[in-house]
């Protein structure tokens, strides 16, 4: 058989190649004895190549297609991608023990996977089969085999060459005869061809590709399906290939012949299709194999892939088999279990055909000879091409920021090789590395599959075009695909587009009037999907109600008074409060900030109120910058003057201008009362031990205008010693002058100031209440003092008059001069005159040109009721002086 070694018998069987073919397929190998054949299942192959060889004498003989047909081997595949090797038990290489046990050894070599090296497996299987019929016929798709019992020859010798075709071939009663003895040797095979008889020596026949074998009791003949010495004949309208022989055996001068014939159906003309069904007609009476018209069909079996199915399984699979006068009729659903789809590409269009490998087994006896024939046909059915236009389904979900698509439907024999994007070609590995999720999904019945792909919008392969508040994403791609069995490449191009509205976050706008913040929130493109915080509080329904919250589907608004606790006070100014409102919009799930907004406004506000009756009120607000301040601890200059009420945000003070350390200043046309709210020293010293020492100083003041028409007039009232103001018309003005001498007849001009004087020179002061025609009020000097600076509160200071009386410690005491009515003086009580000797401050010794400023606080008294204080004052020593 050496001459038969040669080409490998190579099957490329890539199973439903999954994209993640990273895992090396670990191969299943199993064997099954199925009557007169054996099946070896290998797989799933998953992209690897399988070489099959037969082992004889420890040597592998590669199975080429011709050796396979000659020797009884065939190979098919099943839907799962397994290779199914069919082996006739009587194959050329079988070790035959008494025609009962048949041992075949195969060598399987897997190679061509992109991972790892070749794998070699040996499979040795022995099948027992001892129910041989007198004739057994196997119709495989690549060969016809007939095995007949070798009976002892009749006692008449044969010429050894010519056998008349008129002689009935199957008339021998071989069944009753003992087997032919071993002395007989097959020498010649006579083929009955379409052209007539054709004798060939056994050796020549074997060289021509026929298999001729002797077993202890049987003769086995095998022919490739379409061998030249076979012919086609229609049987009941079904074309069949006929292999008809007579084999001559010789022993010395004896010769005998054994006739053997097989007829196998051809595909064309025996299978018919509708949309959904395959119908296979097998002639019931296969004439070339039946000599007399009389025969008995004993058994009919149906199977798939060489394995019989029982009636229940047939029904479950929707298979049906029936007999009529002429045919064994099999009906199979297209797409059903047991078969599979295979892909085809024609003119760039995708087609599938459905494949199934049914088997029918018949057993009959002929009445005339009582000989049994077992007839087994393996049939390969492939439907016409069924168009299956490919479809790309766009499954993109808005908001997911990626294209999602499904491409299908494909038979399992298609693999996705690559995808071409405008930016380049990516292999499947490239796609995975790039973050494109590619998956393969098999339909539940495994007959078809689809690919799914996801491409994020952010990928450079995607074109983006923005404008008009939308972004258009487009993807152009071409799928590169391959039919694994045939290495045919094809492609599918597609375009997808997604229009996404640009994301606009919510926006906040606001305004203020004299007392409120007005906030308007406009929803973004995602609507009302946020939580609102006002200051540090969530906008709860009750807070919303409090802030007059209104909503209309696209906006909401609310109003926050500037005095609300959710507002932060940034600064207190003379007549306003600067406050800030913070509004934050948060994502309720992640708590992430979507929008932060602040608005600050100055609200006119009377921090200090001045009442005509001399009462002052002051509101001290806690500032955002002094968060640790406790307002209740605040006091006026006099630490005993605390707030009348307070809480954690403010302190409210009420006091009169002559109390709580309020300072008073005379200005040219107004009276100024000043105080300061702060933390008293004791609190500060306590606090100063800690690192954070709140600083809080709020100056409060009242100015009583002298010359406004709304100003005050003094009325003499009983039991009133303090200025008493009432809203009425009147004017009050006080003026101080220097007189040229003690006659007080002439005054220094205002333009002459400052006036230079030598030390110890006398200065003649006069203080006058102007614009008052009330003789019952008197002007009294409360305090007079001198400073170096213009500021009346500046230091150093020298007191001239204290509580209406000359400073007792002054070495050059002030001298009062009495006032008499004259041309200048109408009401003497409206005047006060005093004399001071020019002096200098001790620290101003070196610079005698230093200026001196003289200030006085005056009091208006009711002369009828000089109750106490300055108004009723008598100075112990002044009388004497004034007289002097």
Ligand X SMILES: *[C@@H]1O[C@H](CO)[C@@H](O)[C@H](O)[C@H]1NC(C)=O
Rounded Cα–Cα distance for residues 194 and 238 (Å): 17
Q: Which long-range contacts (CB under 8 A, 24 or more apart) does 849-852 make?
A: 850/788, 851/754, 851/788, 852/786, 852/787, 852/788
What is the Cα 785 distance to its own chain's centre?
Answer: 82
Interacting residues of 168 by C-beta distance below 8 A, sequence separation 6+: 291
How many secondary structure helices (H) and strands (E) does the chain include?
7, 66
What is the smallest separation between the CB atom of 17 and ligand X, expressed in angstroms? Answer: 13
Rounded Cα–Cα distance for residues 837 and 846 (Å): 19
Rounded Cα–Cα distance for residues 748 and 738 (Å): 6
Is residue 510 a contact point for ligand X (CB under 6 A)?
Answer: no
Is residue 553 a contact point for ligand X (CB under 6 A)?
Answer: yes
Q: Which stretch binds ligand X (CB under 6 A): 173-181, 445-453, 524-532, 622-630?
A: 445-453
- Closest-by-Cβ residue to ligand X is 480
Rounded Cα–Cα distance for residues 808 and 793 (Å): 21
Using the 8-state DSSP alphabet, how is residue 289 labeled? G
Tokens of 150: 């070798």
Rounded Cα–Cα distance for residues 537 and 531 (Å): 11
CB 88 within 8 A of CB 145: yes
What is the smallest separation between the CB atom of 661 and ligand X, expressed in angstroms? Answer: 18
Is residue 606 a contact point for ligand X (CB under 6 A)?
Answer: no
Nearest CA-CA partner of 91 in 151, 51, 145, 139: 145
Q: Given candidates 104, 418, 605, 813, which one binds ligand X under the rule CB under 6 A? A: 418
Give the total residue count for the chain: 884
Is residue 1 a contact point for ligand X (CB under 6 A)?
Answer: yes
Is residue 57 a contact point for ligand X (CB under 6 A)?
Answer: yes
Tokens of 463: 């074109």
What is the smallest separation between the CB atom of 82 and ligand X, expressed in angstroms? Answer: 8
DSSP element (H, E) containing 121: strand 119-128
β-strands 49-56, 101-111: how paired? antiparallel
Is residue 613 a contact point for ligand X (CB under 6 A)?
Answer: yes
Q: Given candidates 452, 526, 630, 669, which one binds ligand X under the rule CB under 6 A? A: 669
Q: Given candidates 97, 131, 425, 821, which one binds ligand X under the rule CB under 6 A? A: 425
- By beta-carbon proximity to ligand X, the closer residue of 318 and 822 is 318
How many Cβ atoms sit within 10 Å of the Cβ of residue 495? Answer: 10
Q: Given candidates 182, 554, 598, 606, which one binds ligand X under the rule CB under 6 A? A: 554
Cis peptide before 796 (omega within 30 of 0): yes
Is residue 105 a contact point for ligand X (CB under 6 A)?
Answer: no
Helix (H, G, I), strand (E, B) or coil at 741: coil
What is the smallest separation between the CB atom of 648 and ligand X, expressed in angstroms? Answer: 26
Nearest CA-CA partner of 227 in 213, 257, 206, 255: 206
To 5 degrees, how large is the angle CA 411–CA 412–CA 417?
Answer: 100
Is residue 206 a contact point for ligand X (CB under 6 A)?
Answer: no
Q: Which stretch binds ligand X (CB under 6 A): 281-289, 367-375, 474-482, 844-852?
A: 474-482
CB 406 within 8 A of CB 392: yes
Rounded Cα–Cα distance for residues 336 and 356 (Å): 9
Is residue 639 a contact point for ligand X (CB under 6 A)?
Answer: no
What is the smallest separation between the CB atom of 873 and ligand X, expressed in angstroms? Answer: 24
Is residue 417 a contact point for ligand X (CB under 6 A)?
Answer: yes
Rounded Cα–Cα distance for residues 323 and 233 (Å): 22
Q: Which stretch binds ligand X (CB under 6 A): 477-485, 589-597, 632-640, 801-809?
A: 477-485
Is residue 555 a contact point for ligand X (CB under 6 A)?
Answer: yes
What is the smallest separation between the CB atom of 564 and ligand X, expressed in angstroms? Answer: 22
Rounded Cα–Cα distance for residues 215 and 70 (Å): 16
What phi, psi does 751 have (nearest 5°)? -65, -25
Q: Which stretch binds ligand X (CB under 6 A): 348-356, 441-449, 456-464, 782-790?
A: 441-449
Q: Given candidates 8, 199, 336, 535, which one binds ligand X under the rule CB under 6 A? A: 336
- By beta-carbon proximity to ligand X, the closer residue of 231 and 666 is 666
Q: Which stretch binds ligand X (CB under 6 A): 98-106, 608-616, 771-779, 875-883?
A: 608-616
Q: Which stretch binds ligand X (CB under 6 A): 104-112, 296-304, 475-483, 768-776?
A: 475-483
- By beta-carbon proximity to ligand X, the closer residue of 271 and 610 is 610
Q: Given candidates 28, 276, 540, 647, which one binds ligand X under the rule CB under 6 A? A: 28
Q: Extract the runs of DSSP E, i.e. beta strands, from 266-339.
A: 271-273, 277-283, 295-304, 307-308, 320-323, 327-333
Q: Which stretch binds ligand X (CB under 6 A): 98-106, 502-510, 550-558, 798-806?
A: 550-558
- By beta-carbon proximity to ligand X, the closer residue of 417 and 838 is 417
Is residue 658 a contact point for ligand X (CB under 6 A)?
Answer: no
Helix (H, G, I), strand (E, B) or coil at 740: coil
What is the smallest separation between the CB atom of 217 and ligand X, expressed in angstroms? Answer: 21
Tokens of 250: 């010789």
Is residue 389 a contact point for ligand X (CB under 6 A)?
Answer: no
CB 651 within 8 A of CB 631: yes
Interacting residues of 629 by C-beta distance below 8 A, sequence separation 6+: 622, 623, 679, 694, 696
What is the smallest separation between the CB atom of 318 and ligand X, expressed in angstroms? Answer: 8
Q: Which stretch binds ligand X (CB under 6 A): 264-272, 341-349, 611-619, 638-646?
A: 611-619
Query: Between residue 128 and residue 157, which ones bind ligand X under the rule CB under 6 A?
Result: none
Rounded Cα–Cα distance for residues 262 and 138 (Å): 8
What is the smallest separation between the CB atom of 80 and ligand X, expressed in angstroms? Answer: 8
What is the smallest separation between the CB atom of 70 and ligand X, expressed in angstroms? Answer: 14
Is residue 276 a contact point for ligand X (CB under 6 A)?
Answer: no
Query: Between residue 670 and residue 729, which ones bind ligand X under the rule CB under 6 A?
Result: 705, 707-708
What is the smallest separation between the CB atom of 443 and ligand X, expressed in angstroms? Answer: 4
Tokens of 378: 């393996």
Tokens of 24: 């090396």
Rounded Cα–Cα distance for residues 494 and 406 (Å): 11
Rounded Cα–Cα distance for residues 859 and 830 (Å): 11
Rounded Cα–Cα distance for residues 677 and 644 (Å): 13
Cis peptide before 754 (omega within 30 of 0): yes
What is the smallest separation between the CB atom of 589 and ligand X, expressed in angstroms? Answer: 26
* Strands, sheet with 372-378, edge to edge from the N-terminal-most edge strand: 211-214, 218-224, 143-149, 135-139, 372-378, 358-366, 295-304, 307-308
CB 512 within 8 A of CB 525: no
Contact letters for ligand X, residues 280-319 (x by CB under 6 A): ----------------------------------------
Q: Given candidates 270, 353, 369, 447, which one binds ligand X under the rule CB under 6 A? A: 447
Is residue 108 a contact point for ligand X (CB under 6 A)?
Answer: no
Nearest CA-CA partner of 424 in 362, 355, 476: 476
Contact letters for ligand X, residues 478-497 (x by CB under 6 A): --xxx------x-x------
What is the smallest separation between the CB atom of 229 and ligand X, expressed in angstroms? Answer: 25
What is the smallest separation between the CB atom of 609 and ligand X, expressed in angstroms? Answer: 8
Is residue 443 a contact point for ligand X (CB under 6 A)?
Answer: yes
What is the smallest separation between the CB atom of 746 and ligand X, expressed in angstroms? Answer: 23
Is residue 56 a contact point for ligand X (CB under 6 A)?
Answer: yes
Size of the residue set binding ligand X (CB under 6 A): 32
What phi, psi does 473 have (nearest 5°)? -100, 130
- By beta-carbon proximity to ligand X, the closer residue of 19 and 417 is 417
- By beta-carbon proximity to ligand X, the closer residue of 251 and 720 is 720
What is the smallest separation between the CB atom of 855 and ligand X, expressed in angstroms? Answer: 19
Q: Which stretch binds ligand X (CB under 6 A): 289-297, 380-388, 439-447, 841-849?
A: 439-447
Residues in touch with ligand X (CB under 6 A): 1, 26, 28, 44, 56-57, 335-336, 417-418, 425, 443, 445, 447-448, 480-482, 489, 491, 520, 552-555, 611, 613, 615, 669, 705, 707-708
């Amino acid at each position: 058989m050496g001459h038969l070694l040669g080409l490998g018998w190579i099957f490329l069987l890539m199973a439903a190649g999954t994209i993640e073919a990273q895992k090396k397929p670990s191969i299943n190998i199993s064997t099954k004895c199925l009557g007169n054949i054996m099946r070896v299942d290998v797989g799933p192959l998953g992209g690897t190549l399988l070489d099959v060889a037969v082992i004889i004498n420890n040597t592998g003989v590669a199975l080429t297609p011709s050796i396979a047909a000659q020797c009884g081997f065939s190979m098919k595949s099943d839907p799962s991608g397994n290779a199914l090797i069919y082996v006739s038990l009587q194959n050329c290489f079988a070790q035959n023990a008494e025609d009962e046990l048949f041992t075949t050894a195969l060598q399987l070599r897997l190679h061509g996977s992109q991972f790892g090296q070749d794998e070699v497996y040996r499979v040795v299987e022995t099948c027992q089969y001892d129910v041989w019929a007198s004739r057994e016929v196997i119709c495989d798709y690549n060969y016809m085999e007939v095995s007949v019992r070798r009976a002892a020859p009749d006692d008449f010798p044969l010429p050894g060459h010519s056998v008349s075709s008129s002689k009935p071939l199957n008339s021998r009663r071989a069944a009753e005869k003992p087997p032919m003895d071993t002395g007989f040797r097959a020498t010649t095979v006579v083929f009955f061809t379409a052209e007539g008889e054709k004798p060939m020596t056994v050796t020549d026949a074997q060289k021509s590709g026929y298999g001729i074998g002797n077993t202890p009791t049987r003769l086995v003949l095998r022919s490739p399906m379409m061998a030249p010495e076979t012919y086609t004949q229609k049987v009941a309208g079904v074309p069949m290939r006929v292999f008809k022989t007579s084999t001559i055996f010789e022993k010395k001068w004896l010769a005998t012949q054994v006739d053997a014939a097989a007829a196998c159906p051809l595909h064309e003309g025996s299978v018919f299709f509708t949309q959904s069904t395959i119908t296979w007609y097998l002639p019931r009476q296969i004439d070339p194999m039946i000599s007399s018209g009389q025969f008995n069909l004993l058994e009919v079996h149906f199977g798939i892939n060489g394995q019989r199915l029982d009636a229940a399984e047939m029904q479950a699979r929707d298979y049906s088999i029936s007999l009529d006068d002429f045919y064994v009729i099999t009906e199979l659903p297209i797409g059903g279990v047991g078969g599979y789809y295979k892909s085809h590409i024609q003119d760039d269009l995708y087609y599938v055909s459905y494949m199934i490998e049914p088997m029918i087994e018949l057993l009959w006896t002929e009445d005339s000879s009582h000989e049994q024939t077992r007839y087994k046909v393996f049939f390969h059915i492939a439907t016409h091409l069924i168009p299956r236009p490919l479809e790309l389904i766009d499954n993109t979900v808005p908001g997911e920021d990626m294209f999602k698509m499904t491409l299908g439907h494909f038979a399992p024999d298609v693999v996705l090789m690559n995808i071409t994007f405008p930016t380049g070609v990516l292999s499947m590995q490239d796609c995975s590395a790039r973050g494109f999720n590619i998956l393969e999904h098999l339909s539940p019945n495994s007959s078809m599959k689809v690919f799914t792909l996801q491409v994020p919008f952010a990928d450079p392969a995607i074109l983006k075009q923005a404008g008009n508040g939308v972004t258009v994403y487009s993807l152009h791609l071409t799928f590169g695909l391959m039919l694994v069995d045939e290495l045919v490449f094809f492609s599918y191009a597609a375009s997808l587009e997604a229009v996404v509205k640009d994301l606009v976050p919510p926006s906040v706008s606001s305004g203020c009037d004299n007392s409120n913040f007005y906030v308007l929130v406009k929803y973004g493109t995602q609507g009302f999907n946020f939580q609102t915080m006002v200051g540090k509080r969530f906008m709860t329904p009750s807070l919303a109600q409090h802030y007059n919250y209104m909503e209309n589907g696209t906006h909401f608004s609310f109003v926050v008074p500037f005095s609300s606790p959710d507002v932060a006070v940034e600064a207190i100014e003379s007549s306003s409060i600067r406050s800030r409102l913070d509004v934050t919009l948060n994502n309720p799930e992640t708590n992430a900030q979507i929008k932060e907004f602040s608005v600050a406004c100055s609200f006119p506000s009377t921090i200090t109120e001045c009442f005509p009756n001399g009462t002052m009120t002051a509101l001290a607000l806690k500032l955002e910058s002094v968060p640790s301040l406790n307002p209740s601890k605040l006091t006026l200059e006099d630490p005993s003057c605390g707030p009348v009420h307070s809480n954690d945000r403010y302190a409210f003070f009420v006091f009169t201008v002559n109390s709580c350390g309020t300072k008073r200043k005379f200005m040219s046309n107004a009276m100024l009362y000043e105080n300061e709210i702060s933390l008293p020293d004791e609190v500060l010293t306590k606090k100063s031990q800690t690192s954070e020492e709140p600083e809080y100083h709020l100056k409060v003041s009242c100015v009583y205008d002298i010359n406004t028409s709304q100003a005050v007039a003094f009325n003499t009232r009983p039991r009133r010693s303090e200025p008493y103001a009432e809203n009425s018309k009147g004017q009050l003005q006080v003026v101080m002058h220097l007189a040229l001498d003690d006659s007080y007849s002439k005054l220094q001009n205002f333009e002459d100031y400052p006036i230079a004087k030598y030390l110890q020179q006398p200065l003649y002061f006069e203080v006058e209440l102007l614009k008052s025609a009330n003789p019952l009020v008197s002007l009294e000097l409360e305090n007079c003092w001198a400073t170096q600076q213009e500021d009346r509160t500046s230091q150093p200071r020298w007191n001239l008059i204290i509580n209406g009386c000359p400073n007792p410690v002054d070495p050059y005491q002030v001298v009062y001069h009495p006032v008499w009515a004259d041309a200048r003086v109408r009401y003497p009580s409206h005047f006060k005159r005093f004399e001071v000797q020019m002096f200098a401050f001790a620290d101003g010794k070196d610079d005698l040109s230093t200026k001196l400023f003289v200030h006085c606080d005056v009091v208006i008294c009711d002369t009828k009721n000089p109750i106490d204080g300055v108004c009723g004052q008598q100075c112990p020593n002044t009388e004497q002086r004034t007289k002097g």
